[in-house]
Amino acid sequence: MSASAGVTLALSKGRIFEESEALLAPLGLLPQADLDDRLLRLPSQADGVDLLVIRPSDVPPYVEHGAADFGIVGKDVLMEHDGTGLFEPLDLQIAQCRMVVAGLPDSGLDRLRRRPRIATKYPAIARAHFGRQGRQVEIIKLYGSMELAPLVGLADAIVDLVATGSTLRANGLIEFETIADISSRLVVNKAAMKTKHAALTHWIERFREVVTAEEPVA
């Protein structure tokens, strides 16, 4: 494939897409037409860049297997996926939040039963975190609304994302510990980095310029 080959960028739909728009707009990488739920593959405003708008958790497999050359996805999804098949050249500093352990105030981690039940959408991250602490846990995989689990006795604690903290507060939960700071990252297919080197390095550097320009002055 030539250096000027077209490239495909996989975007995480939902919250990350909304925050990506501020980076995509100055690069001319917004979709040509308004996002339509039925259109999953669409040209961007830039020549030679097509967009895929897919579920966040689908971005790593699409990019790893070369269906997209690069993508935008949360660090939480990358950590859960084991992103070893991907380059991660740039922190886009959008969709910022934290991965935390949380639960009811009277059930601090030290007071939990010997093998506490942890509800989470992120079993690999939770297992690795408690493994590092030498703590035995039982993981209950959920697909959403983790905050409900401690309230109904399904779990002793949760591993979930927190941004403002208002969802935890609304449910009477508190944070026990932070596992990681999370933001969205640019990820790149390793083979495409060679076969489409010129185009991909061009776009990575353009993204880097926009992120740097958007950085708040300390």
Could you list the residues that contact ligand PRT (CB under 6 A)? 14-16, 55-57, 74, 76-77, 95, 97, 160-167, 182, 184
Choose between 60 and 74: whose C-beta lies nearer to ligand PRT. Answer: 74
- Please, what is the minimum distance in Å from the beta carbon of residue 40 to ligand PRT? 14
Task: For residues 109 and 120, give the distance between their C-alpha atoms in angstroms, rounded to a whole number.
Answer: 16
Amino acid at 14: G
- Please, what is the minimum distance in Å from the beta carbon of residue 75 to ligand PRT? 7
- Please, what is the minimum distance in Å from the beta carbon of residue 120 to ligand PRT? 11
Task: For residues 68 and 70, give the distance between their C-alpha atoms in angstroms, rounded to a whole number.
Answer: 6
Amino acid at 212: T
Nearby residues of 61 by Cβ (< 8 Å), 6 or more positions away: 81
Q: What is the DSSP string of 22-39?
A: HHHHHHT-SBSS---TT-
Choose between 150 and 192: whose C-beta lies nearer to ligand PRT. Answer: 150
- Please, what is the minimum distance in Å from the beta carbon of residue 91 to ligand PRT? 12
Choose between 2 and 166: whose C-beta lies nearer to ligand PRT. Answer: 166
What tokens appear for 32 in the block? 């040509």
Task: For residues 197 and 199, give the distance between their C-alpha atoms in angstroms, rounded to a whole number.
Answer: 6
Task: For residues 54 and 37, give the distance between their C-alpha atoms in angstroms, rounded to a whole number.
Answer: 10
- Please, what is the minimum distance in Å from the beta carbon of residue 31 to ligand PRT? 17
Cα 213 to its chain centre, rounded Å, is: 22
Choose between 97 and 200: whose C-beta lies nearer to ligand PRT. Answer: 97
